[in-house]
């Protein structure tokens, strides 16, 4: 039985997964968080946003029944019951996480942790004297917070992705600044619930910082605009002036000046490091970030860091795997994480999801790549669900037909992407997929259809579309 002890600072997805894995490996584990278990993902990010997206999508689906002669009467939307249901869901999930930690004999402490040395921390909790703890290793999983430039004025109707869910009413006009995945998801959710939404992005396309979604940006913008959203790309917000406690005047670089009663800043996130006193542990930052090796170990051997603090993919499921990699290394086992093989998902509607190599990455690796598409417009299941926007786009080796990666834009893309993820892990070829019997009618058939195209004998020019 191992006698090693581990302190984990941060109770989000990464810290939680690491705590349970370490407990299974018989480490003595203390998990410290200054807020509720679950971190930003559960309490202010992933789960609340997907809750609102789910409700807005259900509403849109119900209203579309009118096309089939089924009339749905919508009086009005009350945000209060939605917030209450969301809060009840979060409470249930937190209780389950706390129970899992308790069952695993993980010690839970609430407070703000600061380093005293590479093995010792001090915990400050309200109405309690400071408590010092020492351990063989310390894992940092403190996550990140939304960026709010100091140039923006203070206003009760200025929100970020953490605070937007504290609204007590639906804004009649919500402006979302930032067309990354957070901005797109929240714009989609509030527009679906009935708010007028203006989405502003300074780059030429939505999702501009994620090259794997290059082909998805235009489709999302087209879908958003079709539903009545205003989307401005190549546009900057030049001035924000509070009119009163409920209204703002906004001036944009495209010449537009208008009023809105809510502004959501979706401008990225910054690592939570400021309160940790990392210099006392001998840690230093490079370009504002901690540097780790493949085992998530920092320059101080007893300290590990995961998630938004260090990850090239700041996603909840990535942090969870990184936590397991760090714990494995601490117990003498070598594990690794291959970032391209992890699904990246965007929960707008239409959804978008990607995994594996992009076409550019495959070319840089010296691969002769071909790209095959299957459009949802040809899918009977997508047609009957009235969700025909988007496509499957699959990359494969032109010679061996081995699957290298892909992008799905359209219905249930965030679920279907795991067919591709499993194919990558198993090293499947297009032939293996084509020889598998897929049920009909299903959305998954699109994978098989795209792979059937990969087996055609048409010549493929470099960078061409098969």
Helices (H), 65-154: 79-103
Alpha-carbon torsion, ordered 454, 456, 459, 461, to 10 deg? -20
| Cis status of the peptide bond prior to 350, with omega within 30 of 0 | yes
* Band of residue 421 on the pLDDT scale cut at 50, 70, 90: very high
CA distance 323 to 304: 9
CA distance 264 to 167: 11
CA distance 35 to 39: 7
Quote the pLDDT of residue 69: 81
* Band of residue 103 on the pLDDT scale cut at 50, 70, 90: very high
Domain boundaries, the chain: 5-146+271-339, 158-266, 350-454
Residue among 237, 236, 260 at smallest CA distance from 248: 260
The two structure tokens encoding residue 245: 């406690």
In a 13 Å sphere around the CA of 296, the CA atoms on its Cβ side amount to 36
Quote the pLDDT of residue 457: 58
Residue with tokens 């990225």: 268
> 405: exposed, middle or buried (C-beta count within 10 Å: 0-12, 13-18, 19+)?
buried
Yes or no: say if 266 and 177 are a contact pair by the CB < 8 Å rule: yes
CA distance 88 to 81: 10
CA distance 261 to 171: 6
Look at 432 and 76; give whichever has higher pLDDT.
432
Quote the pLDDT of residue 73: 74
Quote the pLDDT of residue 458: 52
Q: What Å distances lie between residue 164 and 1, 247, 265, 463, CA to CA?
A: 47, 16, 9, 42
What average pLDDT does the segment 173-192 reach?
97
Region label for 209, one of left (φ > 0), alpha (ψ between -120 and 50) or beta (otherwise):
alpha
Q: Which CATH number fits domain 5-146+271-339: 3.20.20.70, 3.40.50.300, 3.30.70.20, 3.50.50.60?
A: 3.50.50.60
pTM of the model: 0.93
Is 440 catalytic? The answer is yes
The backbone torsions φ and ψ at residue 393, rounded to the nearest 5 degrees and listed phi first, read -130, 110
In the predicted model, is pLDDT for residue 429 greater than 80?
yes
* Marked catalytic residue, from 64, 329, 401, 440: 440
* Band of residue 1 on the pLDDT scale cut at 50, 70, 90: very low
Rg of the chain over Cα atoms, rounded to whole angstroms, equals 24
pLDDT 10s digits, 314-339: 999 999 999 999 999 999 999 999 99
Domains 5-146+271-339 and 158-266 share a fold: yes
What average pLDDT does the segment 127-153 reach?
94
Quote the pLDDT of residue 253: 97
In the predicted model, is pLDDT for residue 189 greater than 70?
yes
The backbone torsions φ and ψ at residue 397, rounded to the nearest 5 degrees and listed phi first, read -70, 125
The CATH superfamily holding the domain 350-454 is FAD/NAD-linked reductase, C-terminal dimerisation domain (3.30.390.30)
Residue among 13, 7, 18, 20 at smallest CA distance from 39: 13
pLDDT 10s digits, 395-417: 999 999 999 999 999 999 999 99
- Measure CA 293 to chain center: 23
SS3 letters for 291-347?
Answer: CCCCCCECCCCCEEECHHHCCCCCCHHHHHHHHHHHHHHHCCCCCCCCHHHCCEEEC
What average pLDDT does the segment 381-395 reach?
95
Quote the pLDDT of residue 459: 36
| Of 182-186, 248-252, 269-273, minimum mean pLDDT range | 269-273
Yes or no: say if 394 and 406 are a contact pair by the CB < 8 Å rule: yes
* Band of residue 465 on the pLDDT scale cut at 50, 70, 90: very low
The two structure tokens encoding residue 173: 């006009």
In the predicted model, is pLDDT for residue 3 greater than 90?
no
Q: What Å distances lie between residue 172 and 175, 192, 201, 359, 414, CA to CA?
A: 10, 12, 21, 41, 30
Output the furthest CA–CA distance in the chain (Å, rounded). 74
Yes or no: say if 400 and 429 are a contact pair by the CB < 8 Å rule: yes
Quote the pLDDT of residue 126: 82
Residue among 66, 251, 75, 83 at smallest CA distance from 169: 83
In the predicted model, is pLDDT for residue 464 greater than 80?
no
- Measure CA 129 to chain center: 37
Yes or no: say if 269 and 144 are a contact pair by the CB < 8 Å rule: yes
In the predicted model, is pLDDT for residue 87 greater than 60?
yes
Residue among 105, 116, 97 at smallest CA distance from 33: 97
pLDDT 10s digits, 263-315: 999 999 999 998 899 999 999 888 878 999 999 999 999 999 999 999 999 99
Element (DSSP H or E) covering residue 260:
strand 257-260
Q: What Å distances lie between residue 453 and 94, 409, 434, CA to CA?
A: 46, 18, 10
Query: Tell me, which fold does domain 158-266 have in CATH?
Result: FAD/NAD(P)-binding domain (3.50.50)
């Amino acid at each position: 039985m191992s006698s090693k002890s581990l302190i984990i600072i941060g109770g989000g997805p990464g810290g939680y997964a690491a705590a349970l894995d370490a407990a299974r490996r018989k480490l003595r584990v203390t998990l410290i968080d200054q807020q509720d278990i679950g971190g930003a993902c559960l309490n202010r990010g992933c789960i609340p946003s997907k809750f609102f997206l789910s409700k807005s999508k259900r509403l849109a689906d119900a209203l579309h029944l009118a096309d089939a002669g089924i009339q749905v009467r919508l009086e009005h939307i009350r945000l209060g019951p939605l917030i209450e249901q969301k809060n009840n869901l979060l409470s249930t999930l937190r209780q389950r996480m706390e129970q899992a930690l308790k069952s695993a004999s993980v010690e839970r402490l609430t407070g703000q942790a600061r380093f005293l040395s590479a093995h010792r921390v001090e915990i400050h909790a309200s109405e309690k004297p400071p408590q010092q703890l020492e351990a063989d290793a310390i894992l940092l999983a403190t996550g990140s917070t939304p960026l709010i430039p100091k140039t923006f004025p203070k206003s009760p109707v200025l929100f970020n992705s953490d605070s937007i869910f504290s609204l007590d009413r639906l804004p009649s006009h919500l402006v979302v600044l930032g067309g990354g995945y957070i901005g797109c998801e929240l714009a989609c959710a509030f527009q679906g619930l009935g708010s007028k939404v203006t989405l502003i992005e300074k780059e030429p396309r939505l999702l501009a910082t994620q090259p794997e979604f290059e082909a998805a940006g235009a489709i999302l913008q087209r879908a958003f605009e079709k539903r009545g959203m205003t989307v401005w790309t190549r546009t900057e917000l030049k001035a924000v002036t509070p009119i009163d406690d409920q209204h703002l005047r906004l001036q944009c670089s495209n010449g537009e000046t208008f009023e809105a009663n809510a502004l959501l800043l979706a401008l990225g996130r910054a690592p939570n490091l400021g309160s940790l006193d990392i210099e006392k542990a001998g840690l230093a930052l490079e370009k504002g970030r901690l540097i780790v090796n493949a085992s998530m170990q920092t320059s101080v051997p007893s300290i590990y860091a995961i998630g938004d603090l260090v990850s090239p993919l700041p996603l909840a499921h990535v942090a969870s795997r990184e936590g397991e990699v760090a714990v494995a290394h601490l117990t003498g086992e070598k594990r690794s994480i291959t970032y391209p093989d992890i699904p990246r998902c965007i929960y707008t509607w239409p959804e978008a999801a990607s995994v594996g190599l992009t076409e550019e990455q495959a070319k840089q690796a010296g691969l002769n790549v071909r790209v095959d598409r299957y459009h949802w417009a040809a899918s009977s299941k997508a047609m009957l669900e009235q969700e025909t926007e988007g496509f499957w786009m699959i990359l494969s080796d032109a010679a061996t037909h081995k699957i290298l990666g892909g992008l799905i834009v359209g219905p249930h893309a965030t679920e279907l992407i795991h067919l591709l993820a499993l194919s990558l892990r198993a090293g499947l070829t297009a032939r293996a997929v084509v020889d598998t019997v897929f049920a009909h009618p299903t959305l998954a058939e699109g994978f098989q259809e795209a792979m059937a195209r990969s087996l055609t004998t048409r010549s493929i020019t470099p960078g061409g579309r098969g």
